[in-house]
Each structure stands twice: as C-alpha cells, then as structure tokens.
Chains A and B, each alone.
Chain A
Amino acid sequence: MRVENEAQLAEAVRDAGGALAVRGGGTRPVGRCLGEPLEVGISGITLYEPGALTLVVGAGTPLAEVEAAIAAEGQRLPFEPSNWGSVLGAPGTSTVGGVVAANVSGPRRVQAGACRDSLIGTRFVDGRGQIVKNGGRVMKNVTGYDLVKLMAGSWGTLGVMSEVAFKLLPAAPSQATVVIDLPAGAAQVALAAALGSPFDVSGAGWLPGIGAVVRVEGLAESVAYRAERLRKLMAPFGPVRIEEDGSAAIWASLRDLEPFIGKDGDLWRLSVKPSEASEIVARLGGEVLLDWGGGLIWALLPEGSDARALAAPYTGHATCMRGAAGVTFEPEPASIATLTTALRAQFDPKGILNPGRMG
C-alpha cells in the first residue's frame, strides 16, 4: 500500500488489520520487516527559507531532490546523510523520512551533529492513527517535550512520519583533506589529535588503501591555512599529504561505504568510545572503515560472525546491518528496555508499526 498524503496515511494506520512494514524508498532494510508494506509517498518541499536556514519537506521526498534544491541556494544538510542502498543490496531512492527514521549521519557528524541534531520538527501518525506534530520550523524551540528527537532513529516503531523539518548550513565553498599513511590500528590517536586541535575538523576517519583522513571545509584561504596547520600537526604520525581535488571523493567513499560495496560477509556498525577503537579493530579482524575519529567502526566480517562477542568488552553498541547473526540491534539493559517497551506501548498500543524491527 502506498499513501500520498497525511490523511491517507492516518486512515491506513487506523484501518490496519495487522502489522505494517513502514518504508520510504526501501534502501535501508535493516532488521526484520514484518507485515503489509506501507510506503510513504508524501513528497515535496513545503517550505524553504534560505535566509532562515530552514526547510520543511514531505517525509517521502527523495533525498537527492532535497539535496539538489538546497544546493541551488548554496546550502546543505549539516549531517551529510549516507546512502547505504548499494552496500545493503537495496539500491533505490533514499527518502528523507527514511534517513530520519534511521537517524543516518555521515562523516560530518563529528562537527555538525547527527541527523537528530538537525531535525527541528516533524508531523507523524502514531499507532492509534492520530496525527501528531512536534517541534516546528525554527532552530530554537523548547516548547514541550522534544518528541522530534525521539522520532529520529525510532525506525518507524512509534509513528509514521509524514513531514520533517531541518535546520540547514551554508555549503562550504572549499575543502581539503589531510591524508596520513598509517594502518587502521594506529589511526585513532592521530584522529584524536586532529579533533582536539582548534582547526575546526569536519571529518576524521580511515579507509583501506588511503589511510587516516582529516577534512577541513570553509572559505578557500582559511581551508588552505587550516590544512597546512593540520599537516604539521599530523607529521609525527606518519607520511602526510594534502588532497584538494580528490577530497570530496574520499568522503563520499567513506560516507557510502564504497570499499565494501559488492563484497560478501556480514556488515556490522559499532558506535564506541573512540579511544577503544584500536583494540576493538584488532579484536574484530576482518575489513574495517573508521569514521567519527574512531567512534564509528564499520566492519565487514565473515558470514555468521558475532561482532559483539569479538569486540567485547567495549563501551557503546553494535548493530548488525547485514547478516544472519540473529538480533540486529544491541539488546538493551533491563532498565532502558522497560522504558522503551512502555513508550512503544503508548505510541503504538496495537503493536502494528514495524513490530520487531528494533529487536
């Protein structure tokens, strides 16, 4: 079933006889997708004010359409959303609602925050079929509880979003990447030094075949200045070079996990304390990509691997993005599980919205 507007969406949820598998463009098939497919096709930009850095858009709007519209005004989504379609074997049209539902954030997350940090408003239909709005279209808003954050990363289990509002950032006219030739296991210390510097680093990761990478963005002269300062700062860690023309491609590759596309194996995503990254990478084996200064580890492991057992002990959580290892999301401590189960029961008392999706 496909819905094209909010009224249809509310009706579809109210009339549902059983479970609904909520989807936008279907490019993020993570976890179980049980029930009748409910495709949110509510599309289009409803409000865009470049002078206020704000955008309101239908949840089913293709991400590419949004990115093109704001790029025309020299702006961008701060959190640099990733496209996982290819690596998850589900290429298609990523929608903004899907991005929000999965709280997808790319490399700039270290500087600009996650998707949830840029999300300032949403309208959704809860499991009772009620239309609910929260937040709005202004950057600062503390009126009532922040359900906006709760919806981001809830994978459609609390409500089906019909509309989302973002705060935007001016796009940087220039960027450069400092590349340090060193192995993954040694990257975290170098990346921490870069992120601890005053040079406003907007990306810090590691890719196979390239090494550790540190990005700066902004006005041209200042990018050149900061890249040079970082080059000196990074010199003790290994051979260093500054990449200008190829900078954007490096970050697109890391953002969309290009080194893993077309490769077999289970794909795990670990959100960890950055200082634990080296040890975790050593324990995991397999192929890895590092982002967020080591705070995000992507690991491609042999089929059937349990990254949690391999990585243990660690601070954070691990998600099986692709594979057959059982539970996708990290099991929650009992005290948290009590709260989240009760929240789901309040928003979706019939248990029809993406049941079982979050484990």
Chain B
Amino acid sequence: MEMPKPKEDLLARKPQIIARLREVLPADAVIDDPSETRAYECDALSAYRCQPLGVVLPRSTAEVAAALKACHELGVPVVPRGAGTSLAGGSMPQADSVVLGLARMNAVLETDYPNRFIRVEAGRTNLSVTGAVESDGWFYAPDPSSQLACAISGNIAMNSGGAHCLKYGVTTNNLLGVTLVTMEGEVVEVGGPYLDAGGLDLLGLICGSEGQLGVVTEATLKILPKPEGARPVLIGFNSNEVAGACVADIIKAGILPVAIEFMDRPCIVATEAFCHAGYPDCEALLIVECEGSEAEIDEQIGMIRQIATRHEPVEFREAQSADEAARIWLGRKSAFGAMGQINDYMCLDGTIPVSELPFVLRRIGELSKEYGLDVANVFHAGDGNMHPLILYNANKPGDQELCEKLGAEILKLCVEAGGCLTGEHGVGIEKRDLMDVQFEPADLEAQMRVKDVFDPKWLLNPAKVFPLGASASRRAS
C-alpha cells in the first residue's frame, strides 16, 4: 500500500505543531508521546499502520474548531477518527498528520419523540444511540456489524449500512442534520429536525465523504418506533445459485423483509465449529427476518414458505421462540469471528445487482481456485452487498500480496457485473487505487472539485478515496 511521502518540513516542525495545539486546547487533549499515539496508528484495517505526529481528543465543537484552525494555519493534514473501526483504512494516519479523535464527545444532547429525532455528539457509538431511546420503544435503524463499537461520526463518514438496511435504508436515509466544522475552523449547521432542508443537499454530500469535507461533531438522527415484533426464518439450499434465485423471487413477490442474509458452505462450516448454532448441512442458507404484528409476520412467512418450497430447500426452519430466533441469528452474527478463529482473512465489500448473484458467486469460486486461496461468502443478499472473506496466512511470505490481488479481481468483477467497489465500508486507502475501475477521469474530477470547495488546501484525510495519482497536484499545492 503506497502512501504519500511525508512532508519533511512538517516532521521537523513537530514540536512547534504540538506546542501550538497545546496553546489552543486543554493539556490533556493533546497526545504526542509515541507510546500513547501508537493506539491510533491504525484502524480495523490493521495490516497497514503509521504513527501520526500527534493526536488530539477534543471535548466540544469549539475545541474541534480550535484544533482544525490551528492545523489549517500550520498546513498540517488532519485525519478524523470516530472509534477507529473502519475496515477500509479510512482513519489510518499519515506520518505528517494529526489524528483528531471524537471518542470523548459522546453525549446525548436532545431526545424528541413527538418530532422523532435524537441529537447526539458524533463520537457516540451506534448501539448506544438506540440504547438511549429503546426503553421508550424507539430505535435508530442503521445497524453496522460493528455497532457496539463504531461511532456515529464514522457511520456518517462512511454512510454505513447493516443487515436491516433493506427496509430502513443506510445512514444517509436516517440523518437529518449535522454540525460540521470545516478545515478552516468554521462551524456550519447543515439540515436540522425537519424533513427537507432548503437549498442544495449538502447533508447528502457530507454523508459518505469519508471525513474529507469537514469534521461532523453533532448529528440529528431520525429515530423510529420499534415494530411490534420480529421473527427470522432459516432456509437451507443445495446450491448458491438456487439460494440467489430464491432471494430475487422473494423480492419480486412484493414482500419486503427487514433482512435477507446469505451464507455459503465454507462460512456455515466455520461458524458451526465456532458457535454450534445448529445450522443444516447445506451449500447455502438464507436468513430472512420479517417484522410487524404476529398475524402480519405469519402472513409474510407463509408467502416466503411458498416461494422457498418451489426452490426445493434442504430445510425451512421458522423460529418458534425468542431462543430459536437468537440461534438462527447466532451463526450469522458470529461469522466474522468464526472465520478469524480458523484463519487470517480479508473482508471485501462489493455490491452487485441481485440478479447477478449466481454468476458472481460462481466466478468468485473460479478465481479462488486460480489463486489457491479459499473464499467464504457471507452477505446482505437483499441489497446485493457482498462480503467475500479471502482466507490467507499472514505469516506466509507473499500470501498477503496474493490475497490483495485476488481481492482486487473480485471487486473488479463486482463493477463489471454492474455493481460497485464498496457498499458500506467506504473506499479509504483500501480501494482508493481501484477507483478508476468504476469511474472515468471526469467522474473523479467532479468529486474532487467538491473537496476543493470544502477544503481547498486538501488537508482533511487527503490521501484517501481518490487514486494518489489523480489527487497528487491538489495535495501538493
């Protein structure tokens, strides 16, 4: 992974930069001892690491603004960080950068049920947003797998999704407003507790911009009343293709489950060994969750049973109790941990049109053989967001490079099939150099012009998202 060469003058000016940050921030908000900054040298894409010049941990929007203003004046790149759970290297530092972490900003600022929103500081974790309202019967819908740990600021940066997004949408569909601090230290309020903002949709632009347009310090989020109930079914199949065809048929039939999850045999085998969820012996399985009243769920599951029966399933298991429901989800929720137990793996994140599932799964199988690396598949089938897990041995010389090459091949395959490079993790550093597979130069130029507006000096998270070659002249200026 290539990163821009750090600017020597910034490295040389480290004492001056840290001193300036200490002038504008409380003493304990600035860290520069390498033994302490080490905790910030990588995110969840831990194969790549880099020690920053320093770390700032502000407690308020005003402190974020002060830190950014100082860095802007000094020409220091800033890498914003929520909880550091990015799987795409979105918050990996550069050697000449300051990491700005929002973990200390985690308060609930306002809860408003009549207007159906919650306003939080952006360092608050995803699950704890729901935690703040669930005793009153409400929830925040986007549910990335990392929701116990990941921060709302990172969710906004990456426009994160999750298993229930088929029905409820991703972060951008559940975000009403933000407080944004620009690189120059200006505080801008975008959107608010009303449904349509006026003017251009800056909120839509900020969401998913990977921390390159500004630092989001507060967020107004849409909350929803909890449904009366939810129930999953597990359907086992003898082939990936048939499971894929069943997904399309369920959707075509006019049923909209809240989640349709897919696991293939390698993944089923690994999770069974790990958590003994009691999954059937089959090539592929679907977990379909329906929600509403008991009668409503019965009606939906009845239709799903009819559709599935046409595809001759190995098993159709409907949860009869909360315990059985939990067991159906157990294997799926443990899948990533289970794979990690047996092997090192790289988790990909491409999206494809659902109709291309059988073709793409078959082709991934062929590529897996070609490269001699096993691939397990677990993903959100309802919306075509795939997470192929490539298994490799990090201690074996050359294996990681081989794994990266196979990963790139699979992501290119997703684009060729009509899909995209990333469905919910973001581009970060991981897929940065594949961007020109999906985009023409004019497409990338249009996006980079947006960054020119918000951050003319290209100081915010500058070496992410865009191929280094395409952004070189802007970063140099």
Residues on A lying within 8 angstroms of B by beta carbon are: 49-54, 73-75, 103, 105, 109-110, 113-114, 116-117, 126, 130-134, 136-150, 152-154, 157-158, 169-171, 173, 189, 192, 195-198, 200, 218-219, 221-222, 225-226, 271-275, 292, 295-296, 315-317, 319, 329-330, 332-333, 335-336, 339-340, 342-343, 346-347, 358
Closest B residue to A105 using CB positions: B196
Contacts of A147 in B (CB 8 A): 205, 446-447, 450
Is there an interface contact between A144 and B439, defined as CB atoms closer than 8 Å? yes
Is there an interface contact between A154 and B201, defined as CB atoms closer than 8 Å? yes
6 more CB-based (< 8 A) A-B contacts, given A319-B198, A346-B449: A51-B249, A132-B442, A133-B439, A138-B383, A141-B423, A221-B295
Nearest Cβ in chain A — how far from B377, in angstroms? 16
Is there an interface contact between B200 and A315, defined as CB atoms closer than 8 Å? no
Instruction: Among B115, B202, B295, find the residue whose CB has the most chain A CB atoms closer than 10 A.
Output: B115
Q: Determine which of A153, A157, A192 lies in contact with B114 in the assembled complex, contact meaning CB atoms within 8 Å.
A: A192
A170 to B418, CA, bound (A): 22
Contacts of A316 in B (CB 8 A): 192, 194
Is there an interface contact between A51 and B205, defined as CB atoms closer than 8 Å? no
A226 to B228, CA, bound (A): 11
Contacts of B159 in A (CB 8 A): 142, 146
Q: A144-B444, A145-B209, A146-B172 are in contact. Are A346 and B450 (CB under 8 A)?
A: yes
Is there an interface contact between A335 and B254, defined as CB atoms closer than 8 Å? no
Nearest Cβ in chain A — how far from B416, in angstroms? 12
Is there an interface contact between A271 and B202, defined as CB atoms closer than 8 Å? no
Is there an interface contact between A145 and B195, defined as CB atoms closer than 8 Å? no
Nearest Cβ in chain B — how far from A232, in angstroms? 14
Q: Determine which of B192, B194, B446, B451 lies in contact with A132 in the assembled complex, contact meaning CB atoms within 8 Å.
A: B446
A317 to B439, CA, bound (A): 36
Nearest Cβ in chain B — how far from A34, in angstroms? 19
Contacts of B440 in A (CB 8 A): 133
Q: A221-B295, A222-B295 are in contact. Are A140 and B114 (CB under 8 A)?
A: no
Nearest Cβ in chain A — how far from B140, in angstroms? 15
Q: Determine which of B169, B202, B299 lies in contact with A340 in the assembled complex, contact meaning CB atoms within 8 Å.
A: B202
Select the stretch in B317-325, B326-334, B347-355 that faces chain A: B347-355
Nearest Cβ in chain A — how far from B173, in angstroms? 5
B217-258: CB near A (< 8 Å → 1, else 0) gives: 000000001111000000000000000000011011111100
Contacts of A52 in B (CB 8 A): 248, 251, 353-355, 384
Residues on B lying within 8 angstroms of A by beta carbon are: 112-116, 137, 158-159, 161, 165-166, 169-170, 172-173, 186-190, 192-205, 207-209, 225-228, 248-249, 251-256, 292-293, 295-296, 299-300, 351-355, 380, 383-385, 418-427, 431, 435, 438-440, 442-447, 449-454, 465
Is there an interface contact between A222 and B299, defined as CB atoms closer than 8 Å? yes
Is there an interface contact between A142 and B201, defined as CB atoms closer than 8 Å? no
Closest A residue to B198 using CB positions: A317
Instruction: Among B248, B256, B292, B424, find the residue whose CB has the most chain A CB atoms closer than 10 A.
Output: B292
Contacts of B190 in A (CB 8 A): 336
Q: A53-B251, A109-B195, A225-B296 are in contact. Are A145 and B447 (CB under 8 A)?
A: yes
A332 to B202, CA, bound (A): 12
Q: Show 12 A/B contacts (Cβ-Cβ < 8 Å), sorted by A.
A: A52-B354, A109-B195, A116-B201, A138-B418, A143-B422, A144-B427, A146-B204, A147-B447, A152-B201, A271-B196, A316-B194, A347-B446
Q: A139-B384, A147-B205, A274-B115 are in contact. Are A50 and B252 (CB under 8 A)?
A: yes
Contacts of B202 in A (CB 8 A): 150, 336, 339-340
Is there an interface contact between B170 and A113, defined as CB atoms closer than 8 Å? no
A141 to B249, CA, bound (A): 23
Q: A52-B355, A140-B383, A142-B158 are in contact. Are A153 and B208 (CB under 8 A)?
A: no
Nearest Cβ in chain A — how far from B138, in angstroms? 8
Is there an interface contact between B355 and A140, defined as CB atoms closer than 8 Å? no
Contacts of A346 in B (CB 8 A): 449-450, 452-453
Contacts of B209 in A (CB 8 A): 145-146
Q: Determine which of B115, B158, B173, B454 lies in contact with A273 in the assembled complex, contact meaning CB atoms within 8 Å.
A: B115
A147 to B208, CA, bound (A): 10
Nearest Cβ in chain A — how far from B87, in angstroms? 12
A200 to B229, CA, bound (A): 12
Nearest Cβ in chain A — how far from B305, in angstroms? 14
Is there an interface contact between A51 and B354, defined as CB atoms closer than 8 Å? yes
Is there an interface contact between A150 and B200, defined as CB atoms closer than 8 Å? yes
Closest B residue to A138 using CB positions: B351
Is there an interface contact between A317 and B197, defined as CB atoms closer than 8 Å? yes
Contacts of A340 in B (CB 8 A): 199-200, 202
Nearest Cβ in chain A — how far from B385, in angstroms? 5
A346 to B292, CA, bound (A): 47
Is there an interface contact between A222 and B293, defined as CB atoms closer than 8 Å? yes
